[in-house]
Structure 1
C-alpha cells in the first residue's frame, strides 16, 4: 500500500456544482440529455391529469420509454460528434518524405 503524499484528492474536494460544470465541459451532451429527460418527465406529469381513459401504468410506461429514448438518441449524437471532433475534424499532420 502506497502512501504517496503527491496524490491529489481534488475530486473529493469539489462540490456538486463545480463537478457538474467540469463534467459538462468534458462531455457537452450530458446537460442536453439531463434537460431533455427532465422536460419529458415534466410534460408527462403535466399530461397525467388529462390522459383520458388511458391507464396510469400505460401512461407511465410511455413517458418512461420516451425519456429513455431521448437519452439514448442524445448519447448517440454526442458520441458521433465526439468521434467526428476527434478523428475527422483534426488537421492532418503531414510527415516529411525521406529523400530519394
Structure 2
C-alpha cells in the first residue's frame, strides 16, 4: 500500500512542469568588455570616477615617493592609503546621494 502511494506521488511530481521563460534576454552575454564598461558607467557614473581617482592618487604618491625627504616609508604609505580611501569613500558617498536624489526627488509625480 505504501509503495502504491509512493508511485502515485512520483507520477504526480513528474507531471509537474516548470514554467519556462522564452523571453529571457541574453544581450548582456553578447556584449564585449568595452560596451559593458560604458553601459555600467552610464548606470553608475561615480564608480569609474572613484577608480580613476584611486589610480591617480596612487600614481601621484608613488611619484612623490622619491622626494619624500626624511619621512619614513611607512608614514608615506599610510598617507597614501588615507588619501585614496578618503577619495573612494567620498566618491561612494556622492554616488549614493546622487542615486537617492534620482530615486526619490527627481522622479516625476504621477
Fold-level similarity (TM above 0.5): yes
Q: Highest Rg: 1 or 2?
A: 2
Aligned residues: 93
Detail structure 1 runs of 4+ shifted over 3 Å in the superposition: 3-13
Counterpart in the other structure of 2:63: 46
Instruction: Output aligned runs, 1:1-100, within 5 Å.
Output: 7-93=24-110
Larger proportion of helix: 2
Unaligned stretches of 5+ in structure 2? 1-19
Unaligned stretches of 5+ in structure 1? 94-100
The alignment's C-alpha RMSD in Å is 2.2
Deviation (angstroms), 1:46:
1.1
Deviation (angstroms), 1:19:
1.8
Q: Within 1, Cα distance between the matches of 2:72 and 2:90? A: 27
TM-score by length of 2: 0.72
Q: Deviations over 1:47-66 (max 9, x none)?
A: 10011111112111210111
